[in-house]
Amino acid sequence: MENISFADKAGKEIRKEVQRELEGRLDIDDEEVLRLIDEKIRQKNKQVSLSLSDKLAIRREVFNAMRRLDVLQELIDDPGITEIMVNGMHSIFIERDGRLYDTGRRFDSKERLFDIIQQIVAGANRTVNVASPIVDARLKDGSRVNVVLDPIAVNGPILTIRRFPGIPIDGNKLIEMDSVSKEVLGFLSRLVKARYNLLISGGTGAGKTTMLNVLSGYIPRSERIITIEDSAELIIRGIENLVSLEARNANVEGCNAISIRDLIKTALRMRPDRIIVGEVRGSESIDMLQAMNVGQDGSMSTIHANSAGDALSRLETMMMLHTEIPLPALRRQIVSGIDLIIHLGRLRDKSRRLLEVREVTGIKDGEIQTDLIYGFEETGEVQGRITGELKKMKDMRNTEKFKRAGIAEDGI
């Protein structure tokens, strides 16, 4: 323990010395920075005996602090970490394999954390400050970033980074992870090919974007697809005629905000075969439903909800808040536009599972009706892992799109 404390103290001293020498030097490259760090380590080693592992750790940490993202860099470089949560300067948590862990790391000061946040946000061409203390952005590697500054965040600047795998998860991987069965994934792929309109629901971290990515992979390559997102996350492969649109916040340079709703309206003038909306959260729900009702069959989107029924209720509420159309007419639009709801969830063992596939069948006594086509039934628990199966509960009523596409409901 004593040697570790000496190494830690030596690392901080070396960092300060390197910072002093680099102050005002804008032309120095990474190689020169590393040579300077190595020289400082050699000088410090004459005063304090440092092991090889100590020297390598100091070299890495000082370089990360100087040229990269400080204590976050090793976390970002770790492919097994799916989420990084910085709760002020004193607390950094990560998510690995669906579980949360305290890293024990911290920033030296709130100012240093603020500098790192500015570095990340600037790299994503976004701005965050006292006047605009909340921002969503996307890193070059596709990671999603959310920032909330103090005093909005009481315990200091909050930084959340959602990581995505370098190799996108495909259908086979979902089956391997027991997130969905081969039978149900085959059924979903046929729904996509037959151009059914799908709404994917689930809570935070349930895997909605992953499922949307997987289902997008079943779209025929000959179609023209337009994706619309708040922060671009979808990775659609194999579609040559693909247009990706991303919303924009207003900024201090005078650029006006471009909303999801603006992008949906524009997309309808771009001759799409399908429109894929990353997530509906507000007034854009109206335009998304209109798109589904005026010829963009096969469109897809996601929504935060605790169940398939809750997804419909949230959609109703969103639309009611932004239009004066009577509720019965709104419900008719929903029933006409959305064919099926795919609901995902995280079980108590932290696994992500497809829990329900529901068909929207119509309106009865003023209420939207749905049929449960597939439902997950838990059968037990083995070594902390929940077991169960997706059971087919009922055949679909609306098979017209299958017939038009020449696809059987239960096979191709």
Residues 254 and 355 grouped into a single domain: yes
Report whether pLDDT(268) > 60. Answer: yes
Distance, in Å, from the CA atom of 280 to the CA atom of 301, rounded to the nearest integer, reads 7
Mean pLDDT to the nearest integer, 57-82: 78
Distance, in Å, from the CA atom of 94 to the CA atom of 85, rounded to the nearest integer, reads 6
Residues 160 and 284 grouped into a single domain: no
Mean pLDDT to the nearest integer, 385-395: 92
Sorted by sequence, the CB contacts under 8 Å of residue 341 that are 6+ apart come out as 198, 199, 200, 201, 308, 311, 312, 356, 357, 358, 360, 370
User: For residue 159, is it within any domain?
Assistant: yes
How many structural domains are present in the chain?
3
User: For residue 412, is it within any domain?
Assistant: no
Residues 82 and 49 grouped into a single domain: no
Residues 25 and 162 grouped into a single domain: no
Residues 73 and 52 grouped into a single domain: no
* End residue of a domain, out of 46, 66, 86: 66
Determine phi and psi for 341, rounding to 5 degrees: -115, 130
> Bridge-partner residues for 321, per DSSP?
none
pLDDT digits (tens, 9 = 90+) for 153-194: 998 899 999 887 666 788 999 999 889 999 999 999 999 999
Range list of H helices, 205-352: 208-216, 260-267, 284-293, 308-321, 327-337
Pairing assessment for the beta strands 300-304 and 134-138 based on DSSP bridges: unpaired
- Under DSSP, is residue 188 helix (H, G, I), strand (E, B) or coil? helix
Structure tokens at 323: 């239009």
Distance, in Å, from the CA atom of 84 to the CA atom of 241, rounded to the nearest integer, reads 34
Residues 379 and 283 grouped into a single domain: yes
User: For residue 410, is it within any domain?
Assistant: no
pLDDT at 251: 60
Report whether pLDDT(243) > 70. Answer: yes
What pTM was computed for the model?
A: 0.77
User: For residue 191, is it within any domain?
Assistant: yes
Residues 242 and 293 grouped into a single domain: yes
Q: Band the pLDDT of 23: cuts 50, 70, 90.
A: low
Residues 316 and 338 grouped into a single domain: yes
pLDDT at 412: 44
Distance, in Å, from the CA atom of 189 to the CA atom of 171, rounded to the nearest integer, reads 10
Residue 292: CB atoms within 10 A of its CB come to 26
Residues 307 and 359 grouped into a single domain: yes
Distance, in Å, from the CA atom of 196 to the CA atom of 190, rounded to the nearest integer, reads 9
Mean pLDDT to the nearest integer, 263-281: 91
Q: Band the pLDDT of 282: cuts 50, 70, 90.
A: confident
* End residue of a domain, out of 166, 187, 206: 166
End-to-end CA distance of the chain: 65
Whole domain around residue 6: which residue ranges? 1-66
Please indicate whether residue 322 or residue 58 has the higher confidence score (pLDDT). 322
Residues 216 and 315 grouped into a single domain: yes
Residues 79 and 96 grouped into a single domain: yes
Residues 203 and 139 grouped into a single domain: no
Q: Band the pLDDT of 3: cuts 50, 70, 90.
A: very low
Report whether pLDDT(270) > 50. Answer: yes
User: For residue 310, is it within any domain?
Assistant: yes
